[in-house]
Structure 1
Amino acid sequence: MSEWRRLHPRVIWVDLVRSVLSLLPAVTAIAVFGVDPGAGSLWPLLAVAAAGVLGAAGDAVRWAFTRYRITPSYVERKTGVLVRAHRSIQRDRIRSVDVEGRLRHRLAGLRVVKIGAGQQSAAGESALSLDAVSVAEAESLQRLLLRADAPDAKDAPDTEVPADAGAATEAEAPAGAETGADGPAEVYARFQPGWFVYNMFNVWAYVFAIGVGWGAYWLLTGFGVDVGGFVAGLVSSDGIGWFWTSVLAVLALGAFGAAGLALNYFVEYWGFELARVPGEKGTLLRTRQGLFTTRTVNRDDNRMRGVRLSEPVLWRWLGVTDTQVITTGLSLWSMSQPTAILPRGPRRAALRVAAAALGADPDPLRADLERHPGAALRRRLAWATAATAAAALLLGWLAAAGVVPASTLWAAAALWPVALVAAVVAYRALGHAIAGEYLVARSGLVNRSTVVLRRSAVSTIAVRESLLQRRLGLRTVSVMTAAGTGGYTVPDLAADESLRFADRAAPGLLGPFLRPRDADEPA
């Protein structure tokens, strides 16, 4: 495949259909409903039409000027009209080859291939993407670029910030062996319809509802519907008034947003499967998912460093848990969340799947965590009291200036017990342990996080203490690794325990500094 190749020409027909569909709303509003083309209310529909046509035209130009080839050492792509770009990736630096199929691509028998090589997202780099190739070509590229004749990925140095890939996630099902196109697969989880309840209650429900409502407002306005007049009628004296209108709006937005997130769960995770499959360089942790847009992500087990379980505080009573792997080669900042190996679901399923992904014996997620000293609780209570006092002083100053009424000082009085309870909850979340080849660290108030990290992956240990920690006999231990977020913290350990934990977390790193001093050595 060393000759230069084009993207598949069928993408031209896909773009033609896309441009026609983007014109339909504006054409319908003008031809069927008789909306004046010069009316200001029509501009959102015209903007949609313009975006669709220009996007389709841009895709056609991109197809005409894009070439790619695979050589024994490189993957190369040339693209651009006024500014030509020639990008290449060494094949031995390739970390992921993911295949994505949006609805319009699937209908046309096309796929998008994303080739990642551990790019730095902060530098504005992204995976090399081939949009679009045939299904057979996509499968051929994935097999070719993950072949064993390229240098093993585990022999290449890790990069601290990984590359974009697809998303991943899944549900609860008994693990078992299956045979698929890629050979025997050990299935850990499949799509669970009942899990939508874990994914529909969060703040994004309101963000989703407001966004859709704003778009619906402009769409209805374009068709002559007076939405503003309807709302004004509710607020007026003849209606239900401001208060009940606000209550109704909050309830309606919450219900609509929750329903939207539930629907999004089915669309995003339909057909989900999490399995461990054999690869040319070892085994891969593979996820497949998606109804309209399908996505397949392969994670090399040689690059796996641990797992992370997160439990949001407001829904912790439901056992809601997010499950992610700590690995190199995948971006943490991608909207597709390639490090997630399960959708948000029950804790019992997250523990089972995370343990299967680790494959460690004993299971570090079942280890008994050591509690932190009472001084850690006193530190949190002190910060809660100080924050409440600062809020009270600010409100008092504003009340003295006549900016707010004096009664608002009661807000600070009510805030104090809430802050103290939060401090206790944060303290109860603390815990740490060493379990076999892994270290375990748990902390967090708003989002309690349990991190399980392979000790051999720790590259740096940092032990620090603030003035308050020094007075309380506490220290914070941070472990750095070239995977995940790059570093994980174990706060407020007892001073003597902190050094023992740090030494066990990364054997050999602190040894020279903890060596007993000889009698004849100078002080």
Structure 2
Amino acid sequence: MSAPGPRPNAGEPNGGGADAGAAVWQRLDVRLIWVDVAQSLLSLVPAAVALVVFRVEPSWGTLGPVAVIGVVGTVGAVADMLRWTFTRYRVTPDRVERRTGVVVRRHRSVRRDRIRSVDATAKLRHRVAGLRIVNIGAGQQSSAGESAFVLDAVRRPEAERLRGALLRTRLGDAPAAPSGATGESVAATETSTAVRPDGAGGVPVEVFARLKPSWVVYNVFNAWAYLMALGLTWGGYWTASMFGLDAAGFVGGLADWDAIGVAWTVVIAVLVVGAVGVVGLAANFFVENWNFELARVPGDDGTLLRTRKGLFTTREVNRDDNRMRGLQISEPVLWRWMGMADTNVVTTGLNLWSLYEPTAILPRGPITVARRVAGRVLGVDPSPLEAPLTRHPRAALRRRLWWATSTAAAVTGVLAWLWLTGVVPAWTLWAGAGLWPLGLLGALVAYRALGHTVAGSYLVVRSGLMSRSTVALRRSAVSTIAIRESWLQRRLGLKTVTAMTSAGWGAYRAGDVAAEDAVAFAADAAPGLLEPFLDRPDPVPGPRRQQAASSP
């Protein structure tokens, strides 16, 4: 028997308005409680099999983690029951409201015209129960990093209704391409645009990219491989122990480790653990990005940039193109030789600190794909992210070399003082001195990453040491321009130009620009913003200028 759907609360006012049916206070779906209960029971199945089938003697070492999982699941089910009991939400013609809290009641209200995104997420247990988690973003974050609203969980039809109503999607309208788009349709490949007629009412959907299995190579070689391997190894050891298997004895019997020696044993362990981690990261990549698709779909007053992905946990993020201010491509320094890149949009209303990375429009992959897709998304040909950049003066390199040298000297001096006082051994002085060549190398890498230009309607800046980031920011979105120079920059003839906007990280810097070029670059980056403060030559000829000066 199916659970009842959302019901109005007779004791709450409906808020009035023209759309009174949509303004009724509603509950979350009751099935979220039963989903947690079922998950808790399923987590106890391995322990039951070990006790009944394999007749393993119960102990804290074997069944302790199972007991912890059972307690956590029970507490979660109780918490969800309380959340379902005390949570109400409603959508009025003007606002979206939510009331929640057991001891401390909270009432949050957001104007509908301030809503920036409506995302739907479904973990495996939610998909089985036909539920969705709806995240409503309105360009604001709570102190806990929460988006404007999180409705966990509602039925799938209700999630679709909320998304359509809050984004006011009109599927009968043709998608409006961004300014500068060519409107050409290209056959679908991993990077080109394809137009498919699967939108409601025959409206085409532009597909920019789909998942390529080869992208997994760019996502498995990092330090997370060892962390994942440790988790998988511990989980395998605990599972084997629960079923009465001696995993440690099995590994010890694989070879004569005393004859191999400690050094080779460590090398083999590192290689095996790394291989396990790589396999785990590869599996995790496909689970997270399965059926990935980046597309532009019709929406209110234009189009939406939509990403869909996920095997067990599906996630769909819709970004209003009217809120998008640019794009950013980041290249991690240790993997730059692979041509690896992350691609993110610069937009308003999305949480940059979310683990779901709502600003990412592509999985980590090749830089050639990132640049090509970025150009298609921006709708500008040629792409501003491929424009040649102005190199910064050699004084910028000298400044970085100075900082690297002074930092290494300061660290070495502190270590020398600690050695003289007997706190640290003498070899730490060599460690401090070793920072100097590393610092010089980092200074050179950071200098080579510097670059800036103005390409059409976009401001492009590039910088970064650990991650070289190239940002294409729409010039009309720049709200403030700041020009700063430190004492050392003044001595070297350098200035830092910062473009500030209400999207993304809020400020994008072109560091160590030549002083004679900084003001002109800042004026071009934000047309009209600095005009009242610039000292322009008087266009009036000499005799007319004298006549104008003598007139009362």
- TM tier, shorter chain? 0.7 to 0.9
Matched, 1:422 2:445: no
The corresponding residue for 2:207 is 187
Deviation at 1:441, TM superposition (A): 0.5
Contact preservation (8 Å) 2:116, 2:323: no
The corresponding residue for 2:12 is none
Contact preservation (8 Å) 2:136, 2:150: yes
The corresponding residue for 2:335 is 315
Q: CA RMSD in A?
A: 2.9
The superposition leaves residues 127-181 of structure 1 with CA deviations (integer Å, 9 ceiling, x where unpaired) of 31222222222212211111179xxxxxxxxxxxxxxxxxxxxx92431101224
Contact preservation (8 Å) 1:114, 1:128: yes
**C-alpha separation in 2, matches of 1:375 and 1:424:** 12
The corresponding residue for 1:451 is 471
The superposition leaves residues 479-505 of structure 1 with CA deviations (integer Å, 9 ceiling, x where unpaired) of 111000111111111111111111111
Deviation at 1:289, TM superposition (A): 0.7
Contact preservation (8 Å) 1:308, 1:324: yes
Given candidates 400, 404, 412, the residue that maps to 1:392 is 412
Matched, 1:479 2:466: no
**C-alpha separation in 1, matches of 2:100 and 2:425:** 63
Matched, 1:24 2:23: no
Q: Using a 3 Å threshold, how does the CA distance of structure 1 residues 458 and 389 change in structure 2: closer, same or farther?
A: same
Task: Normalising by structure 1, report the TM-score.
Answer: 0.87
**C-alpha separation in 2, matches of 1:90 and 1:103:** 32
Q: Using a 3 Å threshold, how does the CA distance of structure 1 residues 44 and 241 change in structure 2: closer, same or farther?
A: farther
Instruction: Specify the structure having the higher radius of gyration (Cα).
Output: 2
Deviation at 1:346, TM superposition (A): 0.6
Contact preservation (8 Å) 1:234, 1:241: no
Equivalences for 1:213-292 in 2 at 5 Å? 213-223=233-243, 238=258, 240-292=260-312
SS of alignment partner, residue 132 of structure 2: strand
**C-alpha separation in 2, matches of 1:335 and 1:137:** 25
Matched, 1:439 2:459: yes
The superposition leaves residues 400-459 of structure 1 with CA deviations (integer Å, 9 ceiling, x where unpaired) of 455555455444555433332322222111110011111110111211110111111111
Amino acid of the structure 2 residue aligned with 1:337: E
Aligned length: 499
Q: Taking CA–CA contacts closer than 8 Å with sequence separation of 6 or more, which of the two structures ends up with the larger relative contact order?
A: 1
Amino acid of the structure 1 residue aligned with 2:84: W
Given candidates 192, 215, 225, the residue that maps to 1:174 is 192
Task: Normalising by structure 2, report the TM-score.
Answer: 0.83
The superposition leaves residues 257-296 of structure 1 with CA deviations (integer Å, 9 ceiling, x where unpaired) of 2211111110111111101111122111111111111111
Q: Using a 3 Å threshold, how does the CA distance of structure 1 residues 184 and 469 change in structure 2: closer, same or farther?
A: same
SS of alignment partner, residue 473 of structure 2: strand
**C-alpha separation in 1, matches of 2:331 and 2:119:** 29
The corresponding residue for 1:166 is none
The corresponding residue for 2:350 is 330
**C-alpha separation in 2, matches of 1:252 and 1:237:** 15
Q: Using a 3 Å threshold, how does the CA distance of structure 1 residues 280 and 511 change in structure 2: closer, same or farther?
A: closer
**C-alpha separation in 1, matches of 2:508 and 2:221:** 28
Given candidates 54, 60, 67, the residue that maps to 1:39 is 60
Deviation at 1:118, TM superposition (A): 1.6
The corresponding residue for 1:6 is 27
Deviation at 1:326, TM superposition (A): 0.2
Matched, 1:68 2:89: yes
The corresponding residue for 2:521 is 501
**C-alpha separation in 1, matches of 2:23 and 2:120:** 21
**C-alpha separation in 2, matches of 1:386 and 1:213:** 44
Moved more, 39-48 or 267-276: 39-48
SS of alignment partner, residue 438 of structure 2: helix
Contact preservation (8 Å) 1:26, 1:49: no
SS of alignment partner, residue 98 of structure 2: strand
The corresponding residue for 2:14 is none
Q: Using a 3 Å threshold, how does the CA distance of structure 1 residues 395 and 223 change in structure 2: closer, same or farther?
A: farther
**C-alpha separation in 2, matches of 1:335 and 1:467:** 39
